[in-house]
Amino acid sequence: MADCIIADLPVGVDVAERLSVVVQASYQVDDEIQVVNALKRTFQKMDCDVMSATDPADAICIINNSRFDIVICDYRMP
């Protein structure tokens, strides 16, 4: 079982920069494409492999078949 950290971070916190030392593969899940794209750009700047999903069913399938250093997920998705 993977470790899980749930954090409700304030806007403007540069978490990605702080994580750049340990994150090589990231996965973003959010129903708002703008949020997914912003996170994708941030992690790509760190030369991180990035995957993303906007559909919960797709997200679960990908998580079950892949490994990531970090998963950022909107927990209030429809």
| Residues 57-77 pLDDT 10s | 898 899 899 888 888 888 887
Taking 70 as the threshold, does the pLDDT of residue 4 lie above it?
Answer: no
Whether pTM exceeds 0.85 = no
**Pair 9, 60: CB distance under 8 Å:** no
Tokens (6 digits) for 57: 């069913």
d(CA 14, CA 74): 17
Domain boundaries 23-73, corresponding CATH code = 3.40.50.2300
| Residues 15-62 pLDDT 10s | 655 555 567 888 889 999 998 999 888 888 888 888 999 998 898 899
Element (H, E) at 5: none
